Amino acid sequence: MKILVVGAGATGGYFGALLARAGRDVTFLVRPRRAAALRERGLRLTGAGEDEVLTPRLITADEITEPYDLVLLSVKSTALEQAVEDLAPAVGPDTAIVPLLNGIRHLDVLNARFGKEPVLGGVAKVITTLNDEGDIVRLAPLAVLALGEQDGGASARTEEIRAVLAGAGIDASVSPDILASMWHKWVFITTLSTVTCLLRGEVGDVNAVPGGSGIGPAVLAEGAAVSAAAGFPVPESEQALTASLVTQTPSTFASSMYRDVVSGFPTEVEHIFGDLTARARALSVPTPLLDLATLHLRVHQHRVGAKR
C-alpha cells in the first residue's frame, strides 16, 4: 500500500514515523521549508520513550506524479484549502483519504473537492507536540486512530487500512459510526479548550478557585446538546469521563489550543469553535459559554494577526 502523509507535524509526523519505522511505503507531502528542515535534521522523535531519528521520503506538491492508495491528511485547519489543492494529483480512482483534523467542516471541503466516495472519516488521539526545532515530542506513548465510511459500517478498504496501521503499532479500529466518533471528540475538545482558554489556566487552576468547578460541566452540557441535536448524542459514559477530567484538582491537563494561546500562536478557532457555534444556531441550540469562548479566541486571533 502506497501511503502519502500530508503534513509532518505533531500528529501526521508521528503516525507517519510509526508507519515508516515499520517498513511501510510512506511518503510525506510537505511544504518546501519543512522539507529542507527534515532533510537537514531528519524526522526526530523525542520525549517519552527512546529518541529516534528517521530519514523520511519527502515530496512537495509539484513533484507528485502518480496516485497513492492511502492519503493521511493531518494539517492545521488554516492550511486545509491549500493542502487539498496540493494533494489533488495524488488522488486516483482507488485512493482513500483519511483526514485526521478535529471538527467536521473538513469533510465538507474534501467532499466538495473529491466527491464523497474516496473520503473516510477519521479520529486521531495522540499526545504529541512540536518543539522549537520541529522535532516531535511524545508526551505519552498514545497512538490511537479510528476510521470509517462516512455512511457508517465497515468495508473491505477500511479493514485493509486498519490492518496496515495496526501492523505499525498504531491502536487502529474501524468505527461503526465514524461521524458520531468525530462529533463526540469535537465536544470533548471544545469543552476542554473553553475551560482552559477562556479562564486562562490549566484544569487544576480553574478548579482551584471558587466557582471554577462548575464551568466544565456547563460547557459540556452545551456541546453535548449541539451534538444530540445534530443526531449524534454523546453517551452518558463519555460525558461522565469528560466531566471528571475537566473538574479534577490538582491537574495539569490543558488543551493544545490553550498552549497556542499562551504562546501567542494562531489557533483553529473558526474550524473548532466558529463552525460548532454556527451549527448550534442553525439547530436552535443556545450556547452562551461556547459563544463567549469563540469571541475570546477570535480576539486572540485578531491580535496575533495584527502582530504579523
Q: Please answer whether residues 136 and 13 qualify as being in contact, where contact means their C-beta atoms are separated by less than 8 angstroms.
A: yes
Q: pLDDT band at 168, cuts 50/70/90?
A: very high
The cell numbers describing 210, all together, are 471558587
Secondary structure letter of residue 204 according to DSSP: H
* Tally of CB atoms within 10 A around 306: 7
What distance in Å separates the CA atoms of residue 107 and residue 157, rounded to the nearest whole number? 18
Give me the mean pLDDT over the 43-65 stretch: 92
What distance in Å separates the CA atoms of residue 123 and residue 101, rounded to the nearest whole number? 8
Q: What's residue 127's pLDDT?
A: 87
pTM for the structure as a whole: 0.94
Q: What's residue 29's pLDDT?
A: 97
Kind of pairing, strands 96-99 and 70-73?
parallel
Q: pLDDT band at 306, cuts 50/70/90?
A: confident
Give me the mean pLDDT over the 21-38 stretch: 94
Kind of pairing, strands 25-29 and 57-59?
parallel
pLDDT of 49 strictly over 90 = no
What distance in Å separates the CA atoms of residue 132 and residue 158, rounded to the nearest whole number? 36
Q: Please answer whether residues 3 and 68 qualify as being in contact, where contact means their C-beta atoms are separated by less than 8 angstroms.
A: yes
